[in-house]
Structure 1
Amino acid sequence: MVALSAQLMIAPSSAFAQGLQFLGVTPPSQQQAGPFSGEAGRVLQSPSGGGRQPHEVLPTPPEGKVTLGVYAAYGADRKPISRGLVWRVFSAQPDPATGAFPLVAEKEDEAMPVLFLTPGKYIIHVSYGLASLAKEVTLGQVSQREAFELPAGGLRLQGDVEKVAINSDKLKFDIFEGSFLQGRTSSQPYYKGATAGEVLLLPEGIYHVVSSYGDANAVVRADVNVSPGKLTDATMHHRAAEVTLKLVKTRGGEMVPDTQWTIITPGGDTIQESIGAQPTVVLSEGSYTAIGRNNGVNYSLEFKVEPGQNQQLEVLMNRAG
């Protein structure tokens, strides 16, 4: 079991790019250390389709226009990104009425677009997953090409209990900017509800991951570092188990329907409340009391949860409490 510790890295996105108000496009929504193991270092493959550099030859523009060829890569030494890019071109002159920058051109899922623009100043914005970059470009009378070095990497998350993988439909991950270990995390998730096995494209830096197994108290946390051009695999190690409850008149008997359930800790904190004949809940390791209420009478059972030891518990109706 490894706890990740690393220095905080700030993604090199400029305040200029973050503060722009664009006209014609809706900005994307921003959408104690736990056990963790991770592997970093695999390079995200972005084949360029040959040995030639992008836009070595640019087409002749229409009269009054100039040609601009653009492409993006994971940093200066990476191959160009071949798909999944969204390009937007804005005038560098804000609209007098709104103060926003008018949208001039847009290219979706085009890796290396060629644009014909009137000479002047523009703001070029490129996004790839949750990573983005914007910079100002001045066009004269001569055609040119511009490279965008995206500081982005991939993150893929999994979860397990005692080295056994947890089904993806029982896991969710919320991702926050910053380091929990260093006391620097955002108050709102940068990405909420990621699923196991999903590859997230994120700006480089340190993120705090909160992994929830089920919807009760099986939650672990860890910091993870996203490096540009690399895919990081991280597994969150939960210490929890699934518990199924049923109220019965005799051991091994039929479950009693219409039962209200409450699970509490030895200190009296309520962990979970539900209604049903046979609810299943995921609980972190520890001691609990299950209380089943039927026809105004409470029946209780004390039990313990050990990691990976799923169990079915019968609460007898002669255990009134």
Structure 2
Amino acid sequence: MWRRQATRRAAALLAAVLLLSPAGAAAQSMQFLGGQSAPSAAGPFAPPPGAPRPVLQAPGPGAPAAPFAPPGGGSSAREPHAVLPAAPAGKSALGLYARFGTEGAPVPRGLIWRVFADQPESSGAFPLVAESSEASPVFFLTPGGYIVHVAFGFATTAQRVQVGPVSRRQAFDMPAGALRLAADVNDKPIPAQKLTFDIFEGSFLQGRTSSQPYYRGASAGEVVLLPEGTYHVVSTYGDANAVVRADVNVQPGKLTDATVHHRAAQIVLKLVKVPAGEALADTQWTVITPGGDTIKESIGAFPTFVLGEGDYTAIARKDGKNYNRDFKVEAGKDQELEVLLR
């Protein structure tokens, strides 16, 4: 599904770029959002394997976005390609670089560049002429029309470029930032292995969010590169009903850190013959709400559930008989609860 969506978006971007006149194309860029899985490598805008993954956090009230410095170093304010190398006979040098918005600093790393001919072959595919993973590559091209595509994580842009007899440089505005997520309970960090984050386009608070995740299964502490804009994050603690939602804004050239605050606790259940007795193996467990809704089921001597605050009933089934116990979950108060075999 991700592949089909990304391929459709890439095709739409290519069609839009081809509609631009050569003069207007140099001043315009169009953005599309890729899915988690890469489209077919045969497509003209297949995202690069191993592209940086995005990560999200729910920011505290009024928390500013930090300047974005990709791992391994910061960015330089000096624009590349002040002097271009001499091109071979019959070629022209095209120096490319990307920046965080029109007035932003150059993007120092993490870019994937692809140059395509602007006319399709008989098969309908646009030939790939050159590619590079350098921050500011120089391509030696035969004069003519090209489509240049650049990807930075999930943020992408493309322009139609006309190469003439004189070498030139071209800047690409990359309206992208980074997102990093974490979560806690009562100000105590939740271990990353117990958390997952799904990222949706749009604002949940304003009722404008996509139905399908833009990025599924982001990890706590992961840096996710995203196009600028508003995103809705769904944080899941454990695998039951401990779920929190938050809206986050991604700004160009900024790293946004956000921490989601959960109201939940970890509950361990065991069926015993006497208080503090040995837990009975092969017990079937069901946790339900007071209204009878099933929250989680499991089999074992010590099932562990992460549950949101509230009232629950634990039902243990052993040898064809049911045993139950009502209990309350309070945020941050992990418990081990016994159900007596009576």
Instruction: Assess same fold via TM > 0.5.
Output: yes
Mark the CA change 1:171 to 1:48 in structure 2 (over 3 Å): closer, same or farther: closer
Residues 1-321 of structure 1 correspond to what in structure 2 (within 5 A)?
A: 16=17, 17=30, 18=32, 23=42, 25=44, 27-28=46-47, 37=60, 39-45=63-69, 47-48=74-75, 52-98=78-124, 100-108=125-133, 110-318=134-342
* Contact 1:209–1:224 (8 Å) recurs in 2: yes
- Note the residue ranges of structure 1 that are not aligned, 5 or more in a row: 1-12
Residue type matched to 1:93 in 2?
Q
Percent identity (aligned): 60
Secondary structure, aligned partner of 2:193: helix
Secondary structure, aligned partner of 1:40: coil
Secondary structure, aligned partner of 1:223: strand
* Contact 1:89–1:105 (8 Å) recurs in 2: yes
Q: Name the structure with the higher helix share.
A: 2
Residue type matched to 2:114 in 1?
R
Secondary structure, aligned partner of 1:169: helix
Mark the CA change 1:26 to 1:230 in structure 2 (over 3 Å): closer, same or farther: closer
Residue type matched to 1:225 in 2?
N
Residue type matched to 1:27 in 2?
A
Aligned to 2:27: none
**TM-score if structure 2 supplies the norm length?**
0.82
CA shift for structure 1 position 42: 1.4
Residue type matched to 1:275 in 2?
I
- Note the residue ranges of structure 2 that are not aligned, 5 or more in a row: 1-11, 18-29, 34-38
Secondary structure, aligned partner of 1:37: coil
Q: Name the structure with the higher strand share.
A: 1
**TM-score if structure 1 supplies the norm length?**
0.88
CA shift for structure 1 position 101: 1.7
Q: How many residues end up aligned between the 2 structures? A: 299
In structure 2, what is the Cα distance between the partners aligned to 1:273 and 1:52?
59
CA shift for structure 1 position 28: 3.9
In structure 1, what is the Cα distance between the partners aligned to 2:105 and 2:199?
28
* Contact 1:73–1:81 (8 Å) recurs in 2: yes
